[in-house]
Amino acid sequence: MLPTVTAQFTERFTNAAGFGQSPYYTVQTLATWKLDLSTFQGSRAQRAAASVRHDRARRTASDTLSDAWDQVRTNVEKSRAARASLDASRLALSVARDKYASGKATLLDAVQAERDAFSAEVTEIQAEADLATARANLRLSTGHSRVSP
Protein backbone atom coordinates (compact mmCIF):
# COMPACT_ATOMS: atom_id res chain seq x y z
CA MET A 1 0.00 0.00 0.00
CA LEU A 2 2.95 2.34 0.54
CA PRO A 3 5.03 3.71 -2.32
CA THR A 4 8.46 2.33 -3.07
CA VAL A 5 11.13 5.04 -3.28
CA THR A 6 14.52 4.47 -4.90
CA ALA A 7 17.33 6.95 -5.42
CA GLN A 8 20.49 6.83 -7.48
CA PHE A 9 23.48 9.15 -7.54
CA THR A 10 26.11 9.03 -10.29
CA GLU A 11 29.38 10.96 -10.61
CA ARG A 12 31.26 10.90 -13.87
CA PHE A 13 34.59 12.44 -14.53
CA THR A 14 37.31 12.07 -17.12
CA ASN A 15 40.79 13.37 -17.61
CA ALA A 16 40.60 13.14 -21.42
CA ALA A 17 40.26 16.39 -23.31
CA GLY A 18 37.27 16.94 -25.55
CA PHE A 19 34.71 14.84 -23.65
CA GLY A 20 33.01 17.76 -22.00
CA GLN A 21 33.23 19.35 -18.67
CA SER A 22 34.50 17.10 -15.92
CA PRO A 23 33.11 16.01 -13.43
CA TYR A 24 29.36 15.98 -13.77
CA TYR A 25 26.74 14.50 -11.50
CA THR A 26 23.38 12.84 -12.02
CA VAL A 27 20.78 12.38 -9.29
CA GLN A 28 17.74 10.27 -10.01
CA THR A 29 14.81 9.64 -7.68
CA LEU A 30 12.00 7.27 -8.51
CA ALA A 31 8.78 6.76 -6.55
CA THR A 32 6.59 3.80 -7.51
CA TRP A 33 3.15 3.30 -6.11
CA LYS A 34 1.26 0.18 -7.04
CA LEU A 35 -2.48 0.29 -6.45
CA ASP A 36 -4.02 -3.12 -6.89
CA LEU A 37 -7.58 -4.09 -6.04
CA SER A 38 -6.41 -7.50 -4.85
CA THR A 39 -4.20 -5.79 -2.27
CA PHE A 40 -7.20 -3.99 -0.79
CA GLN A 41 -9.30 -7.17 -0.88
CA GLY A 42 -6.46 -9.17 0.65
CA SER A 43 -6.13 -6.77 3.56
CA ARG A 44 -9.90 -6.87 4.13
CA ALA A 45 -9.78 -10.67 4.10
CA GLN A 46 -6.92 -10.67 6.59
CA ARG A 47 -8.84 -8.34 8.92
CA ALA A 48 -11.92 -10.57 8.65
CA ALA A 49 -9.85 -13.68 9.35
CA ALA A 50 -8.29 -11.99 12.39
CA SER A 51 -11.76 -11.08 13.64
CA VAL A 52 -12.92 -14.68 13.21
CA ARG A 53 -9.85 -15.98 15.08
CA HIS A 54 -10.50 -13.49 17.87
CA ASP A 55 -14.15 -14.52 18.16
CA ARG A 56 -13.22 -18.21 18.12
CA ALA A 57 -10.62 -17.69 20.86
CA ARG A 58 -13.12 -15.72 22.95
CA ARG A 59 -15.78 -18.43 22.56
CA THR A 60 -13.26 -21.17 23.36
CA ALA A 61 -12.21 -19.36 26.53
CA SER A 62 -15.84 -18.84 27.52
CA ASP A 63 -16.64 -22.51 26.89
CA THR A 64 -13.61 -23.62 28.87
CA LEU A 65 -14.64 -21.44 31.80
CA SER A 66 -18.24 -22.66 31.63
CA ASP A 67 -17.12 -26.30 31.49
CA ALA A 68 -14.82 -25.78 34.47
CA TRP A 69 -17.65 -24.17 36.45
CA ASP A 70 -20.02 -27.03 35.59
CA GLN A 71 -17.37 -29.53 36.66
CA VAL A 72 -17.03 -27.80 40.04
CA ARG A 73 -20.80 -27.86 40.58
CA THR A 74 -20.96 -31.53 39.62
CA ASN A 75 -18.10 -32.44 41.93
CA VAL A 76 -19.67 -30.50 44.82
CA GLU A 77 -22.76 -32.67 44.49
CA LYS A 78 -20.67 -35.84 44.20
CA SER A 79 -18.79 -34.85 47.33
CA ARG A 80 -22.05 -34.26 49.23
CA ALA A 81 -23.37 -37.63 48.09
CA ALA A 82 -20.13 -39.36 49.10
CA ARG A 83 -20.29 -37.77 52.59
CA ALA A 84 -23.90 -38.90 52.97
CA SER A 85 -22.95 -42.40 51.83
CA LEU A 86 -20.06 -42.44 54.30
CA ASP A 87 -22.37 -41.40 57.15
CA ALA A 88 -24.84 -44.13 56.19
CA SER A 89 -22.06 -46.73 55.96
CA ARG A 90 -20.71 -45.75 59.38
CA LEU A 91 -24.19 -46.05 60.85
CA ALA A 92 -24.65 -49.44 59.17
CA LEU A 93 -21.27 -50.55 60.54
CA SER A 94 -22.29 -49.49 64.04
CA VAL A 95 -25.59 -51.40 63.74
CA ALA A 96 -23.81 -54.51 62.35
CA ARG A 97 -21.27 -54.45 65.22
CA ASP A 98 -24.06 -54.11 67.79
CA LYS A 99 -26.01 -57.00 66.21
CA TYR A 100 -22.87 -59.14 66.09
CA ALA A 101 -22.10 -58.35 69.73
CA SER A 102 -25.63 -59.35 70.75
CA GLY A 103 -25.52 -62.50 68.63
CA LYS A 104 -28.17 -61.43 66.12
CA ALA A 105 -25.74 -61.19 63.15
CA THR A 106 -22.85 -63.23 61.85
CA LEU A 107 -19.23 -62.24 61.62
CA LEU A 108 -19.65 -62.11 57.86
CA ASP A 109 -22.30 -59.38 58.25
CA ALA A 110 -19.96 -57.31 60.41
CA VAL A 111 -17.02 -57.78 58.02
CA GLN A 112 -19.15 -56.79 55.03
CA ALA A 113 -20.30 -53.65 56.86
CA GLU A 114 -16.66 -52.78 57.59
CA ARG A 115 -15.79 -53.35 53.93
CA ASP A 116 -18.68 -51.11 52.83
CA ALA A 117 -17.61 -48.38 55.28
CA PHE A 118 -14.03 -48.55 54.03
CA SER A 119 -15.22 -48.35 50.43
CA ALA A 120 -17.37 -45.31 51.32
CA GLU A 121 -14.34 -43.62 52.92
CA VAL A 122 -12.28 -44.20 49.77
CA THR A 123 -15.11 -42.84 47.61
CA GLU A 124 -15.40 -39.75 49.82
CA ILE A 125 -11.65 -39.09 49.63
CA GLN A 126 -11.73 -39.46 45.84
CA ALA A 127 -14.72 -37.12 45.58
CA GLU A 128 -12.93 -34.48 47.68
CA ALA A 129 -9.80 -34.82 45.52
CA ASP A 130 -11.87 -34.48 42.34
CA LEU A 131 -13.53 -31.37 43.76
CA ALA A 132 -10.15 -29.83 44.63
CA THR A 133 -8.90 -30.56 41.10
CA ALA A 134 -12.02 -29.06 39.53
CA ARG A 135 -11.66 -25.92 41.65
CA ALA A 136 -8.01 -25.60 40.61
CA ASN A 137 -8.98 -25.99 36.95
CA LEU A 138 -11.65 -23.33 37.35
CA ARG A 139 -9.15 -20.96 38.92
CA LEU A 140 -6.69 -21.57 36.10
CA SER A 141 -9.47 -21.08 33.53
CA THR A 142 -10.14 -17.62 34.94
CA GLY A 143 -6.55 -16.64 34.23
CA HIS A 144 -5.03 -16.94 37.68
CA SER A 145 -1.55 -18.38 37.42
CA ARG A 146 -1.36 -19.48 41.06
CA VAL A 147 -3.66 -22.08 42.52
CA SER A 148 -4.32 -21.80 46.22
CA PRO A 149 -5.07 -24.96 48.21
Taking 90 as the threshold, does the pLDDT of residue 111 lie above it? yes
Strands (E), 3-105: 4-12, 24-32
Report helix angle 107-141 to 37-102, nearest 10.
Answer: 160
Q: Which residue has the higher pLDDT, 114 or 145?
A: 114
State the Cα–Cα distance between residues 92 and 120, nearest whole angstrom: 11
The better pLDDT of the pair 33, 71 is held by 71
pLDDT at 19 over 80: no
Percent of the chain with pLDDT over 70: 93
pLDDT, position 141: 85
Sequence spans of domains, the chain: 4-13+20-141
Q: pTM higher than 0.85 for the full model? A: no
CA distance 36 to 51: 23
Q: How far is residue 70's CA from residue 138's CA, in Å, rounded to a whole number?
A: 9
120 or 40: which leads in pLDDT: 120
Domain 4-13+20-141 has CATH 1.10.8: no
pLDDT digits (tens, 9 = 90+) for 46-89: 999 999 999 999 999 889 999 999 999 999 999 999 999 999 99
Residue 147: the pLDDT is 58
More confident residue, 147 or 6: 6
Residues with Cβ within 8 Å of residue 8, at least 6 apart in sequence = 26, 27, 28, 29, 30
**Average pLDDT of the chain to the nearest whole number:** 88
